[in-house]
Amino acid sequence: MQKLMGIIKKIGAKMILGKKDQIITALNAKLDLPFLNEKDEKELLEGIWETIEEVVGEAIQLTDKK
């Protein structure tokens, strides 16, 4: 059962993380930082996205070890 849960978590993470472009575009449309233009906001969000990918991967690995 543990293996099945681990696989489901990985599939879910891949499904969400696989929509990077759509999520970044949606976030960028909602984000308005007056000191950044749209291109800079997108770069900032992409940097944050890389961190999110790492953290999600680490969280999955941690729960797999339990």
Q: How far apart are CA 25 and CA 42, in angstroms?
A: 8
Residue 33 dihedral angles phi and psi, to the nearest 5°: -100, 115
Give the pTM.
Answer: 0.75
What pLDDT sits at residue 19? 92
pLDDT tens-digit profile, the chain (66 residues): 778 877 888 888 888 889 999 999 999 999 888 999 989 999 999 999 999 999 988 888 776 665
What pLDDT sits at residue 10? 85
Tokens of 49: 């996205």
* Contact present, 24 and 46 (Cβ < 8 Å): yes
Q: How far apart are CA 32 and CA 51, in angstroms?
A: 21
